Structure 1
């Protein structure tokens, strides 16, 4: 029931080697309240857990995921985690719970306390909305509150001056950075829009799979001394990233978003997860006959960052550091 930190495999991504120190930080409680308010008015969607639509527990899952905490799926299950808090001791960021809403028995609704006797939640009538705990509808249904933010690390608001808290890949980038999986540059930037090369992609994935290749001599343009040689050879032997018909690998050529989806599927078998790949098309720029269609559709359905929640996927667009970070973050969350 309780998974307080996204289960990411410890792997050193080598997109850069320079460590970055924190500049300033908001408390987890402040960040949760600030982020939850930014979604006011988002419509209610049964089973929804993305900004395209939330149900009550899906909203909490999405918001707390932003500070590195994963919650169970239903309101009743969410009430089983954290420390029980008296109503008189409520503090911003605490979870509040209600029973017998929508004429159903048991704990059926959850929200986030934001202070001043108010909470924010996904309501079936008005979407994301702020209500008073003294409201004539909610007051008699109040069950209790739980606190899970005591030991959570602060959410850095300016670790990277080019990745604000509002950036859709903020959680992915900062979670991976906090675990020394991704680092920024020495000018306090992350350069989220910088494209990822084929060599870097091989290294990123092999830091997770940790495969030792049988040979390093596989491509005419990848010398044994190349920093990506081990990882490129490993990816070839696994059939994850292959070379071109002329015998080259082109380690410094950029990778498209379509290619990224395909290699993630080859490496982590994401199209075997549930029935995502059989869902209706979610992007306007691809159709079911497209060669990477299933892998791309899965990225949409497992996305908790909103990076992939758009009308168009951008099949020929370069996969950037932010996009690749979000994809790896999402894939690790569902495959480990």
Structure 2
């Protein structure tokens, strides 16, 4: 799965649906996720690289990776952006502190949510609470940069949605984008053609033969992706020789193609799903794949009593399935 691992580094997958919106500004969550990769890196006075950071050097490095050029010192970083109160902080905001190792503004970090921030402390890059006995009294201000977008990216996606983390992570990495009206439409179904395109952006397969599908022609959307998925044995057609590109994919089909695409192998028998879901019979054709959806699930979206195998797979469900599969590899 070298190509898959390459994707996980470069995050090059783009959901091909119309219309879509590409966000020019970095999302706060994207910045937070990147910053967290450096937890444990040692503190180094004057440090501005992963070999060692001081507090302002860490911020300059992290935001710089998103084409945001911050001043070098925390006192100068205090002068940028729009001031926000502690109660208004959102992930990706800068938090500043006074009177630490010297009078005045002397420490900076990145707010990560849940009243916590990440910064370069004496013990290295660490996550701390804004309410602890040391940092609490020294908190001075929060600053929001115009070039960082709010994490509340989709007006129709509640933070309580089971697929919220999956959707936000994928969208923050340009894996799945929303619509031009700032919605995600989590309950909108996914077509078989879209599914082929999504998965081929992950796998990067090249078709090894011309399609035999009588309803797929070279001038239609997702043509090469459909051929690639057919050649790889990931998405097959129907007995009548059609692919039905515009037909919505059901949840059983989703489970099977995710299992094939990500080479999931949990040793489940077809009958296993019937002990998990009350609406899956022991000999269900997609039983093993359905059981895998339950086993790898980090979102709780598939931790239900029924699987609803014949229901249309939604954008939220497909996002969760992809997220579960590749983060579990």
**1:214 aligned to which of 203, 208, 221:** 208
Please tell me whether Structure 1 or Structure 2 has the larger radius of gyration of its CA atoms.
2
1:98-247 aligned at under 5 Å gives the runs: 115=131, 156-247=150-241
SS state of the match for residue 284, structure 1?
coil
Q: Are the structure 2 counterparts of residues 218 and 249 from structure 1 closer, same or farther at C-alpha, using a change threshold of 3 Å?
A: same
1:59-115 CA distance string (max 9 Å, x none): xxxxxx9x748999xxxxxxx84779xxx99x93269xxxxxxxxxxxxxxx99583
CA RMSD, aligned part only? 4.0
1:1-336 aligned at under 5 Å gives the runs: 9-19=11-21, 21=23, 68=33, 81=40, 92-93=115-116, 115=131, 156-270=150-264, 272-273=265-266, 281-335=275-329
SS state of the match for residue 188, structure 1?
coil
Alignment: residue pair count: 236
CA contact (8 A) 1:200 1:228 kept: yes
The separation in 1 between residues aligned to 2:267 and 2:198, in whole angstroms, is 25
Residue 214 of structure 1: how far off its partner (Å)? 2.5
Residue 246 of structure 1: how far off its partner (Å)? 1.4
The separation in 2 between residues aligned to 1:113 and 1:274, in whole angstroms, is 42
* 2:52 corresponds to: none
SS state of the match for residue 203, structure 1?
helix
The separation in 1 between residues aligned to 2:296 and 2:10, in whole angstroms, is 15
The separation in 2 between residues aligned to 1:277 and 1:7, in whole angstroms, is 33
1:170-220 CA distance string (max 9 Å, x none): 111111111112111111111111100010111111111111102343211
Give the 4+ runs in structure 1 shifted more than 3 A: 6-9, 20-23, 67-72, 80-84, 111-117, 153-157, 273-280
Q: Are the structure 2 counterparts of residues 251 and 279 from structure 1 closer, same or farther at C-alpha, using a change threshold of 3 Å?
A: closer
SS state of the match for residue 19, structure 1?
coil
The separation in 2 between residues aligned to 1:284 and 1:174, in whole angstroms, is 31
Which ranges of structure 2 fall in alignment gaps of 5 or more residues?
Answer: 1-7, 44-99, 101-106, 119-126, 134-146
SS state of the match for residue 240, structure 2?
coil
Which ranges of structure 1 fall in alignment gaps of 5 or more residues?
Answer: 1-5, 29-64, 73-79, 96-110, 118-152
The separation in 1 between residues aligned to 2:148 and 2:160, in whole angstroms, is 16
Greater relative CO (CA pairs within 8 A, separation 6+): 1
Q: Are the structure 2 counterparts of residues 265 and 94 from structure 1 closer, same or farther at C-alpha, using a change threshold of 3 Å?
A: same
The separation in 2 between residues aligned to 1:289 and 1:263, in whole angstroms, is 18
Per the normalisation by structure 2, the TM-score is 0.60
Residue 232 of structure 1: how far off its partner (Å)? 0.7
* 1:129 corresponds to: none
Residue 158 of structure 1: how far off its partner (Å)? 2.4
* 2:97 corresponds to: none
